[in-house]
Structure 1
Amino acid sequence: MPTNTDKVYTPAPGVKGVVFAAPYSKENAQKGIDLAKDFTKDLNGLTLAGTSVLVNLGGLSDAGIVNAEARDHQKVKDFSGSVISTPQSDFSSTFKLDFVESTNLDVLRLVYGVENVKPITKGGTGADANTVVAVQVNHTAAPLANWVFVTETIQGSKLRRQVIPKGQPITVGDVTQVSKDIIRYEVTVEAFGFTIADGSTVHVVEYLSPDV
């Protein structure tokens, strides 16, 4: 049977962005899941719970979005040595994202922590007292916070969205500063299990538009 090319999907970044994020809370996570399935809604600046909004983390490198899922199984053998069962002992889901907008403050907040990215204003009593003159970024040993992530890719009229209800940056690759390349942040996000409204536990929720 020949391949139905209408069912082939080649992802490309959307006009408004690829990866969006908001600080994690149960309310934000559930709201992100509920709203992402409505493809008429623009993810950029989308309000979740309360005053929380999805921020645009900018462009990614040509490595795209890499989602790795691993299932560990334990082989159980009977007295004769035959395998009689392979119960699953572990499951993990990670996303590797290579951010290329190294001066995007929202990317820096993800990489170093919200509290460690501090705009410095001119100060004083003049009209320009609140003018930002520098941004201080502190590198600390504190664990990074959990976030709600939503990704979006397109192909013509087809869209695909993935929601990570509860994700934590667990590694950041080496940051190289050379004149022949750009500064980038390669971030690996661990997608934790999250209990959704119907009682099931998910690590990622994916939505495909009807055209896919």
Structure 2
Amino acid sequence: MTTPIQQVGRNRSQVMTGAPDVKYSGGFWIGDPVYDPEQFPKSAKEEGNEAAARFGAVSAGFITREGVNENSERSTDKLLDWNLDVIDVVTTDFSTTLTVTFAESMNAAVLKFIYGDENVTVDEEAGEVYIRKTADDLPTKSLMFDLKGKNGARGRGFAAEATVQTVGEIAYVKDGLIQYQTTIDVLNDVTGAFLHTWFSKGGVTRASRVEANTGSTIAGGSTVNPPAPAGDTN
């Protein structure tokens, strides 16, 4: 009887860099807030323009080399008994933020996200943009960012509702871009999640490269065995 060969612990098909997929948008989309889960992206494989069309998302244009950074913070409280032993640990606060620097200083979608729809006027024909910088509450928007890796690997992040928390210092200098370094609060959506993330390995996985004369245990515990030699009844 053939003894299955266990899959090794390291697997490059499970490694991915955070390079943007700029095929449609430059990698980052801004759209209307989404309250219907049926309008959420379906997977990392779904074409970006198809997913974005469901919630009116448009390209945020160039993003600086720092990319998109996700940070989640959780505060907990220990519930103690009479003897001060821990009975349980409960979450008292949870938040998720994204930091991203937008490099297109005249991108209408970016400006409306940062300053509010009613505070940005764009005259496409004249090529002019007017911004009113006020203390108004900022709108919520949906966000999606797409990633790509080797051999067709893809990734996608999606927030159904998010709002700008802070905008960093804006520098007007000759040797630098006018850009908006933003910290974005991601809000929990109708499903209770803050951020949705999908990854797709793409290409050829290790399981599909197993040679015909070996057996291999693949994800999920199923075993692939080689065909038995002629006359072998085991």
> What TM-score comes out, normalization by structure 1 length?
0.81
Per the alignment, residue 152 of structure 1 pairs with 146
TM-superposed CA distance for 1:117, in Å, is: 1.1
Say whether residues 1:97 and 2:100 are aligned partners.
yes
SS at match of 1:174: coil
Say which structure is richer in strand. Answer: 1
Q: Is the 8 A contact 2:44 2:198 kept in 1?
A: no
Which runs of no fewer than 5 residues in structure 1 stay unpaired? 122-130
Do the aligned partners of residues 89 and 166 (structure 1) sit closer, same or farther apart at CA in structure 2, a change above 3 Å counting?
same
Corresponding letter in the other structure for 1:211: G
Residue of structure 2 in register with 1:59 after alignment: 62
Distance 1:25 1:45, change over 3 A: closer
Q: Percent identity?
A: 22
Name the stretch that deviates more: 64-73 or 99-108. 99-108
8 A Cα contact 2:74 2:94, kept in partner:
yes
Structure 2 counterpart SS, 1:135: strand
How many angstroms apart in 1 are the aligned matches of 2:18 and 2:44? Answer: 19
Question: Aligned partners of 2:72, 2:180: CA distance in 1, in Å?
Answer: 22
Q: Distance in 1 between matches of 2:19 and 2:52?
A: 21
The 8 Å contact of residues 20 and 43 in structure 1, kept in 2 or not, is answered as no
- Is residue 30–residue 110 contact of structure 2 (8 Å, CA) maintained in 1? no
- The residue number in structure 1 matching 2:19 is 12
Taking the aligned partners of 1:84 and 1:42, their CA distance within structure 2 comes to: 46
Deviation at 1:3, TM superposition (A): 2.8
Per-residue deviation at 1:96?
0.9
Larger Rg: 2
Code of the aligned partner of 1:150: M
Which whole-Å CA distance do the structure 2 matches of 1:18 and 1:183 have between them?
A: 20
1:37 aligns with 2:43: yes
**Per-residue CA shift, 1:48-105, capped at 9, x if unaligned?**
2xxx521000122221111111111012223333333221111111111111111222
Q: Is the 8 A contact 2:44 2:154 kept in 1?
A: no
Which residue identity is paired with 1:99?
F
Question: Aligned-pair distance for 1:38?
Answer: 6.5
Asked whether the equivalents of residues 162 and 205 of structure 1 are also in contact (C-alpha less than 8 Å), the reply is yes
Could you tell me whether the CA contact under 8 Å between 1:36 and 1:161 is conserved in 2?
no
CA RMSD of aligned residues (A): 2.3
Name the count of aligned residue pairs: 193
Q: Is the 8 A contact 2:35 2:190 kept in 1?
A: no
Partner residue of 2:71? 68
Aligned equivalents of 1:55, 1:45: Cα separation in 2: 11
Secondary structure (helix, strand or coil) at the match of 2:99 reads: strand
